[in-house]
Amino acid sequence: MAQMNIENLTSELIVDEALKLKPYHCTAGKLTIGIGRNLEDVGISTDEARYLLKNDIDRVCAQLDAALPWWRTMSERRQRVLANMCFNMGIGNSTRGLLSFRNTLASMQRGDYRAAARGMRDSSWAKQVGARAERLAKMMEEG
């Protein structure tokens, strides 16, 4: 029995299915991504989800490095708070996302973590995410 050449099959499937980096509906109407991955029927594995998460965390940290270079001077726990918030709402700009928290971020930068936690709790974001915001505000406050 001949062994199938996986590299050749991979090349053929890329030609036949195409590489799509954003979700689309295939000819059967199924939500699909990548090289023919049927998300509705197959989904993704735990390993694939963790791989995506690692890449997303790397992207978030790079965004924070670029936008808020001082964030790495905070304690590791407070860095996790900022990364968690950025992951949740995106880095954004002055009107949306993490960067819209101008006063809260300024409090963090000057080391006034109580004021930063208060700003987090008083935001519309906190109303949307509830317990997550309270947990993160407490982490920010206590370091």
The answer to whether position 115 is within a domain reads yes
The answer to whether position 33 is within a domain reads no
CB 64 within 8 A of CB 82: yes
Report the number of distinct structural domains present in the chain. Answer: 1
Confidence of residue 10 (pLDDT cuts 50, 70, 90): very high
The answer to whether position 74 is within a domain reads yes
The answer to whether position 34 is within a domain reads no
List Cβ neighbours of 99 (8 Å cut-off, separation of 6 or more).
Answer: 67, 91, 92, 93, 105
Main-chain dihedrals φ then ψ at residue 66, nearest 5 degrees: -75, -40
Which ranges of 18-93 does DSSP label H, i.e. alpha helix? 46-67, 76-89
pLDDT in tens, 15-32: 999 999 999 999 999 999
Characterize the bridge pairing of strands 31-34 and 20-25: antiparallel
The answer to whether position 95 is within a domain reads yes
**What is the share, in percent, of the chain residues with pLDDT greater than 70?**
100
Q: What is the mean pLDDT of residues 110-132?
A: 97
The answer to whether position 76 is within a domain reads yes
pLDDT in tens, 66-120: 999 999 999 999 999 999 999 999 999 989 999 999 999 999 999 999 999 999 9
pLDDT score recorded for residue 94: 86
pLDDT score recorded for residue 25: 96
pTM reported for the whole predicted model: 0.88
Q: What is the CATH number of the domain that holds 76?
A: 1.10.530.40
The answer to whether position 121 is within a domain reads yes
CA 104 vs CA 19, 39, 113, 114, 138: distances in Å: 41, 38, 9, 10, 14
**Measured between alpha carbons, how far is 31 from 11 in angstroms, rounded to an integer?**
22
pLDDT score recorded for residue 129: 97
The answer to whether position 9 is within a domain reads no
- Residue 116's domain comprises 68-142
